[in-house]
Amino acid sequence: MVTGVARYDKFQASYREPVRRDESLAAYTTFRTGGPADLYVEVASTMKLSEAIRLAEELAIPYFVIGEGSNLLVSDDGYRGLIIRNQIMGLAVEGRELVTGAGERLDRAVDYATEHALTGLEFAAGIWGTVGGAVCGNAGAFGSQISSVLGVAELVDRQGNVRIEPQAYFEFAYRHSRLKQTGETVSRSWFCLEAGSGIDIARRTEEIRLSRCQKHPVQPCSAGCFFRNIEDSDQPNGKLSAGKLLDEVGAKRLRVGAAAVFDRHANILINAGGASSRDIRQLADILKARVKERFNVDLQEEVICLGNF
């Protein structure tokens, strides 16, 4: 029987890039919490991403792909398997299409589009995270979402095969794409934008960033909104705000250890300094229970919880 350690040794010997053992994941999440990953690699090309995935599959090593860790809560016990950090970079304009590497920060992609007087991506200004994560989770704000501007994307499947798929393939829904079921990973994306006034685009981008700064932490200490809004056709933009429900159950007064609710947004949990992932998870569970008791609504996490809690 081949042990986990033997598989890890074989991966490290076979993969032709640096492989780190027992790498703390706290530095790779915006919560700044989380224990070690058994194996950790960073990939800067589609080829290397494919190679890492293919090798992990061959050796039956569990793996998980991360970007900036902005929508992620990692267990204090860490992750038993391989963490692949997607660092595929690159920004370019082809006509009215913005081409991005999946490891690029979404906010940087917004700036690049603005610099080239391309409109359509302004809604994403100030959203933490990478382009790849934004496509996978259909990130959105101000009534718009990634699905409205994505043309095609290059994917790596769980066998390491690479292909390009159109927008329809992703079966986008609110904060969802089929990638969450298939486990495919985005390596590059093409966004279909429109030519516009650089001055107007820059003004709108700045307005959106300022609006976010008034409600969200400026420095990494959270994962943004912890719970999904509730789909409700009677509400503005078809969503009932989870933050509103949390406000009404007194969320902002709650704290577990060094995990707290942000004082300007009841749906944002923060690491107030020295929090553990367990603190954050316990606080989230208390909030869910209060909303269930008061409104009979089951809040669904937007943040991914990785590992054992």
From first to last of the 309 residues of the chain, give the pLDDT tens digit: 455 789 999 999 999 899 999 999 999 999 999 999 999 999 999 999 999 999 999 999 999 999 999 999 999 999 999 999 999 999 999 999 999 999 999 999 999 999 999 999 999 999 999 999 999 999 998 889 999 999 999 999 999 999 999 999 999 999 999 999 999 999 999 999 999 999 999 999 999 999 998 888 988 899 999 999 998 877 777 889 999 999 999 999 999 999 999 999 999 999 999 999 999 999 999 999 999 999 999 999 999 999 999
The C-alpha atoms of residue 140 and residue 190 are separated, in whole angstroms, by: 17
The domain limits of the chain are: 16-86, 91-212, 221-306
Task: Say if domain 91-212 classifies as CATH 3.40.50.2300.
Answer: no
Instruction: Give CA–CA dist 135/175, Å, rounded.
Output: 9
Q: In CATH, what class is 16-86?
A: alpha beta
CATH architecture designation of domain 221-306: Alpha-Beta Complex (3.90)
Q: DSSP letter string over 83-133?
A: EEEE----EEEETTEEEEETTSBHHHHHHHHHHTTEES-GGGTT--SBHHH
Q: Is 152:141 a contact under the CB 8 Å cutoff?
A: no
